[in-house]
C-alpha cells in the first residue's frame, strides 16, 4: 500500500511497478518547447494544473520558465509584499465559460512598477509551496518585459 513513507523510497531498479517509468526532465523537454535560453514556454493554466501531480512537480520544481500573462495585485499569501498575480483567461469550450486562472509571481527585489492588467513576458524559476493546505505553483521572477497581448489572448 501507499504509506506516508513510501514516497521517499527509490523505485525498484529491477522493474516491477509502473512499466512506463517515471516522468523525467527529458519527457518535459519533448512535450514543452524551450526558448533560446532554455526556459520552458508554459502558460499559466499549464502551470496551474501541474500543482496536483507529484510526479510533474518533482520534475518541474526549480525549472526555468517563461510565460506571458497579465499582472494584477496579489492579495493572498503576500506577507512580504513581493508578489503579483499572473493570470490568463482559460476557456474550456466557449468564451462565456472563460475563467481566470492565476498563479503568484514573486519578485525577490520587491514589486516593480507595473501596469495593472498589463501584459508581460515573465521569466523565472518555477516552485511549489504548500499554502493553506493547497499546493500553490509560483514563479520567482528573474526578468519581466512589458509585451502586447498575444494574438491568442484567450487559451483553449
pLDDT digits (tens, 9 = 90+) for 73-118: 998 889 899 999 999 988 777 777 888 899 999 999 999 999 999 9
DSSP annotation of 47: H
Report pLDDT for 54.
92
Q: Which residues contact 99 (CB under 8 A, 6 or more apart)?
A: 89, 90
Q: How would you label 24-46 residue by residue, b for 16+ Cβ within 10 Å and e otherwise? A: eeeebeeeeeeeeeebbebbbbb
139/68 Cα distance (integer angstroms): 12
Could you report the per-residue pLDDT of 32-80, keeping only the tens digit for each? Answer: 999 999 999 999 999 999 998 999 999 999 999 999 999 999 988 898 9
Q: Give the chain's radius of gyration (CA, Å).
A: 17
Note the pTM of the prediction, 2 decimals: 0.80
Short-list 82, 92, 83, CA closest to 45: 92
Amino acid at each position: 500500500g501507499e504509506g506516508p513513507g513510501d514516497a521517499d523510497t527509490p523505485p525498484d531498479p529491477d522493474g516491477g511497478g509502473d512499466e512506463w517509468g517515471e516522468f523525467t526532465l527529458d519527457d518535459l523537454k519533448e512535450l514543452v518547447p524551450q526558448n533560446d535560453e532554455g526556459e520552458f514556454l508554459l502558460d499559466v493554466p499549464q502551470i496551474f494544473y501541474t500543482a496536483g501531480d507529484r510526479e510533474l512537480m518533482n520534475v518541474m520544481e526549480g525549472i526555468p520558465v517563461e510565460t506571458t500573462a497579465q499582472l494584477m495585485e496579489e492579495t493572498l499569501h503576500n506577507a512580504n509584499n513581493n508578489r503579483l498575480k499572473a493570470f490568463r483567461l482559460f476557456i474550456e469550450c466557449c468564451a462565456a465559460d472563460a475563467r481566470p486562472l492565476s498563479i503568484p509571481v514573486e519578485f525577490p527585489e520587491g514589486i516593480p512598477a507595473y501596469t495593472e492588467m498589463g501584459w508581460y513576458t515573465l521569466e523565472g524559476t518555477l516552485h511549489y509551496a504548500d499554502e493553506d493546505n493547497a499546493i500553490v505553483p509560483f514563479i520567482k521572477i528573474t526578468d519581466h518585459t512589458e509585451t502586447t497581448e498575444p494574438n491568442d489572448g484567450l487559451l483553449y
